[in-house]
Amino acid sequence: MDTLHLSRHISSQFNEEIEQIRNHVMAMGGLVEQQLHQALQAIANADSDKAQRVIDNDRQVNDWELKIDHECTRIIAKRQPAASDLRLVMTILKTIADLERIGDETRRIAKVALESFNTQQQDLLVNLDNLGRHVWQMLHDVLDAFARMDIEAALSVYKEDKRVDREYEAITRQLMTYMIEDPRSIPKVMNVLWSARSLERIGDRCKNLSEYIIYLVKGKVVRHSNESELERNARS
């Protein structure tokens, strides 16, 4: 029996299947990115219909996660991938879990926006504008880094999260002064604060995604390490 040929054959089938899964992850990522973009647009234009569509479409994000999860389990059972291939599949599983949670946060943002429109309390949502664009750019960049397995791009998303955190803290302080100056604004300010928090969490998850890319390319676990450790590992 030509084992080498057989293994090459299996490996090429594995490659085809994993390529399809990777394409599905890109499609899921594209949908999540679009959802966030639409939610931010809904806020910018006080567009209730758009916010409602974002809420409705979250089901599609969930469906993608279940589908890709199933595909990954199937490829492991059927192809019994070796170390590095298995690492790829395991990392895709983590990636889609984070994408799904970004979808959840986006749905929360759309829900809060819709509530604000319905009660004519949308004026303060404009405070989310810069943070929203910043986080959306992070998501865009990390998906791009995933598509190209680009470790430098992943590192730069990883570092960007600190700037997002600072921006989030500045917004929080700003919004608290509104509340102190005009206590009647408290309920509507709270809504903006929750959405700012959701955006900040999306930034955290983009950072997770960037860690997975570094892990995939370098084969080193970088989760729970600090920035300088991570940078050293990524560039070594």
Q: By the criterion CB under 8 A, which residues form the site for a second copy? A: 59, 62-63, 65-66, 70, 73, 76-77, 80, 82-83, 86-87, 90, 93-94, 97, 172, 176, 179-180, 183-184, 186-187, 190, 193, 197, 221, 223-224
Minimum separation from the CB atom of position 13 to a second copy (A): 16
Which is nearer to a second copy, 102 or 153 (by Cβ)?
102
For the bound state, the minimum distance from the C-beta of residue 191 to a second copy, rounded and expressed in Å, comes to: 11
Going from the C-alpha of 24 to that of each of 66, 79, 151, the distances in angstroms are: 11, 19, 21
- Nearest distance, CB of residue 201 and a second copy, angstroms: 10
By C-beta, is 66 or 126 nearer to a second copy? 66
Least gap, CB of 118 to a second copy (angstroms): 18
Nearest distance in Å: CB 176, a second copy: 6
Distance of CA 194 to the CA centre of its chain: 18
- CA separation, residue 214 to residues 138, 185, 200, 219, 226 (Å): 16, 44, 22, 8, 14
The amino acid that residue 13 corresponds to is Q
Q: Which is nearer to a second copy, 46 or 179 (CB)?
A: 179
The DSSP letter of residue 45 is: T
Q: What is the DSSP string of 69-121?
A: HHHHHHHHHHH---HHHHHHHHHHHHHHHHHHHHHHHHHHHHHHHHHHHHTT-
- Helix, strand, coil distribution of the chain in percent, nearest 5: 90, 0, 10
Q: Which is nearer to a second copy, 133 or 201 (CB)?
A: 201
- Residue closer to a second copy, measured from CB, 87 or 133: 87
How far apart CA 89 and CA 72 sit, in angstroms, is: 6
User: CB 181 → a second copy: shortest distance, Å?
Assistant: 8
Q: Which among 219, 194, 180 is positioned nearest to 88, based on CA atoms?
A: 219
Nearest CB to a second copy, comparing residues 30 and 183:
183
